[in-house]
Structure formats: C-alpha cells, structure tokens
Amino acid sequence: MKNQVVIGTRGSKLALWQADYIEKRLREEYPGLVVTQKRVTTKGDRILDVPLAKIGGKGLFTKELEEEMLSGGIDVAVHSLKDMPAKVPDGLVIAAVTKRLDPGDALVSNRFSSFAELPQGARVGTSSLRRRAQLLCARPDLVMLDLRGNVNTRLRKLDEGEYDAIVLAVAGLKRLGFADRIRQVLPQTMVLPAVGQGALAVETRADDAEMRAMLAFLRDDDTVCCAEAERSFLARVEGGCQVPVGVYATAAADGLKVEAVIASLDGRRSYRGEMKGARKDAAALGTALAEKLLAEGGAEILQELGLLSEE
C-alpha cells in the first residue's frame, strides 16, 4: 500500500472543502498515510469575465488537474461530478463516486422567500445554461443575468444588489455552511439537476491499481449506478458541463428511474421524459432516454447552439 498520496484540487473554498473531505476519509481509513494537497488553477478559474458557455471546450474545471495527474504531479484529483465531461481522458479513470449529498438547486434571495414571490422582470443570476433554460420555461418574464465566481463571490454580488435572486447548488451551500441562505429548494418538476450534482468524483490514473484499490471504500453503489445512467445520457448528447440539459436518476432495490430534459435557452421549447429499468442497464437506460428526447426535438435545440453534430 502507498504510504503517501498527493491530492490535486482547485483553489476555491468549495474545492478545498471537497479535497479536505477526501483527505480526512483517507486518513481515517489508512492511519499513518501521509496525505498532501496540490492546488491547480483551471481555465474555468482563470477566466472570470466571460460566461462559461462562451469560453468553449469541455473540462473547464478539470483539464489542468487531469494533465497534472497524467504527468505524475498528483495521484488523485477531486472534482464535483457535475463539472466532469462525459468522457474521461485516456489513461485516467473515476475510481470512486461518493454518496450524493443533495442534488437540488437553491433559490437564494435577500428580498423574496420563494420563486413564486419573484416579481415580474426580476433579475436572476446563474452561470448555468441548464438553470437558465428551465427557469425561463417556468417564468419567461424573468431577466436572466450571468453570474460567475466562487460561491462566496456570488453571494457577495447578490448582497451588493446586482441581482434580485441567484440560483446555486444546494450541496455547495450546505458544504460551505451557507444552508441558512437557502430560501427555497427548487422542485425537480421545475428544474432537473446537472449530471452528478451533489456527488464527488475521485479520479486517478487507470494504471495505478494500488491507488484505485485504496479509493474503492469511498464508492457509493447507489450513486455510482445513478451517475452511470446520467453520464451516459450526457455522453449521447455530446455534453460537457455547460449544456441546457438536466438529468437525474434515482436508484431503488428493484430498479432505476431516469428523468431528463433538453430545453432551449429562451425556455420556449422543452423536451422532457423519464424511463425505468434494471440497475444493471443503467448506461443503456440513459442512452435510450437521450435518443428519445433528441428525436422529439432536443437534437434541433443542441444543433442550433453548436453543441451537437448533425447526423
């Protein structure tokens, strides 16, 4: 067994919380193990004055960490699973997906206690095409404004009056101690979450069998099953983390249910559906649901945005 491990992480407070959490779990599981962290700045961290969707490329918050891992500078990288593109680079593997904390999206506002209370034309901040599209489906009167920066920065911008409300991941707010800022967890009938939202992915080199074995205890089987279905959906729609697509799977002893949506950025067109099947068919289920929604009209939406190649 290895006697020391280097964890790669981004430098935001949420990323550091995630790395600290995995470090703590490793130390508890392997007493005496020396664990250190190495901070890596990603493209998504460097470019803060441009909407994420306009930066281009996949892996905006993962690529540099993955390059550092392939070069041997770090042993593992900790990511929010929702930030990971559907395809993992050659030579790397997701060794563990942790138990999901909370997949939901939260409305945060200093003036309004719920989404329904937002007045006509309210200014709502989000960096996510997925949230923008689904919120406009529900409320086409809203003014959606781009919102970049880490969780603390986004809350500060709200507090300075730039927005009437902002939408953030419930899991991130809870992990950083901001649960009291949540005014409403938006219902999934309105907004389906991002692929893997609420779960952490621990990535390592595919040929490092020892590291993979050491990380296996972190794996949550239900979340892995759900993530497989969700990520296969994302792979079929050729998506990175910036696509107007929501997908959420729930696992039970007797099977799996997958719900998904593809929506236009103006919220005027939305294709939503669900499928149920056996847990062992998780990947096939996600792909089949993607095919269904693409055929119904989702393909046209993604092609218009340049996110799906024409066939």
Q: In sequence order, which ranges of the chain are alpha helices (DSSP H)?
A: 13-29, 43-46, 52-55, 63-70, 129-138, 151-159, 170-175, 209-215, 221-236, 282-293, 299-304
How far is it, in rounded angstroms, from Cα 260 to Cα 245?
Answer: 7
pLDDT tens-place string over residues 278-295: 999 999 999 999 999 999
The answer to the question of residue 192 being in a domain is no
Which pLDDT belongs to residue 60?
Answer: 63
Tell me the mean pLDDT in the region 233-252: 85
Q: Are residues 144 and 166 in the same domain?
A: yes
Residue 284: give its domain's CATH number.
3.30.160.40
Q: Are residues 87 and 212 in the same domain?
A: yes
Is it the case that residue 44 has pLDDT exceeding 70? no
Tell me the mean pLDDT in the region 65-94: 91
The answer to the question of residue 190 being in a domain is no
How far is it, in rounded angstroms, from Cα 117 to Cα 295?
Answer: 36
Is it the case that residue 240 has pLDDT exceeding 60? no
The answer to the question of residue 309 being in a domain is no
User: Are 267 and 135 spatial neighbours (Cβ–Cβ below 8 Å)?
Assistant: yes
Highest averaged pLDDT of the listed ranges 58-67, 231-240, 301-310 = 231-240
pLDDT tens-place string over residues 97-121: 999 989 999 999 999 999 999 999 9
Percent of the chain having pLDDT more than 70? 91
Tell me the mean pLDDT in the region 5-18: 92
Q: Are residues 115 and 149 in the same domain?
A: yes
| Of 260, 254, 251, residue with least CA distance to 220 | 251
Q: Are residues 64 and 211 in the same domain?
A: yes
Confidence tier at 243 by pLDDT (50, 70, 90): confident
Which pLDDT belongs to residue 84?
Answer: 84
Q: Are residues 87 and 112 in the same domain?
A: no
pLDDT tens-place string over residues 158-172: 999 999 999 999 999
Q: Are residues 34 and 163 in the same domain?
A: no
How far is it, in rounded angstroms, from Cα 103 to Cα 172?
Answer: 10
Tell me which residue range forms the domain holding 254: 220-302
Q: Are residues 255 and 291 in the same domain?
A: yes
Is it the case that residue 45 has pLDDT exceeding 90? no
Q: Model's pTM, two decimal places?
A: 0.88
Confidence tier at 61 by pLDDT (50, 70, 90): low
Percent of the chain having pLDDT more than 90? 78
Confidence tier at 55 by pLDDT (50, 70, 90): very low
Dihedral sign from CA coordinates of 197, 72, 235, 97: negative
Q: Are residues 58 and 136 in the same domain?
A: no
The answer to the question of residue 308 being in a domain is no
The answer to the question of residue 311 being in a domain is no
Is it the case that residue 230 has pLDDT exceeding 80? yes
The answer to the question of residue 44 being in a domain is yes
Is it the case that residue 225 has pLDDT exceeding 90? yes
Q: Are residues 205 and 92 in the same domain?
A: yes
The answer to the question of residue 142 being in a domain is yes
Q: Are residues 224 and 294 in the same domain?
A: yes
Which pLDDT belongs to residue 62?
Answer: 81
What residues are labeled active site?
Answer: 83
Q: Are residues 167 and 212 in the same domain?
A: no
The answer to the question of residue 41 being in a domain is yes
* CB-count exposure of residue 268 (10 Å: 0-12, 13-18, 19+): exposed
Domain-terminating residue out of 127, 161, 185? 185
Residue 13: give its domain's CATH number.
3.40.190.10
Which pLDDT belongs to residue 311?
Answer: 44
According to DSSP, residue 178 is labeled -
Number of domains in the chain: 3
Give 170 or 86, the one with higher predicted confidence.
170
Q: Are residues 9 and 125 in the same domain?
A: no
How far is it, in rounded angstroms, from Cα 75 to Cα 35?
Answer: 10
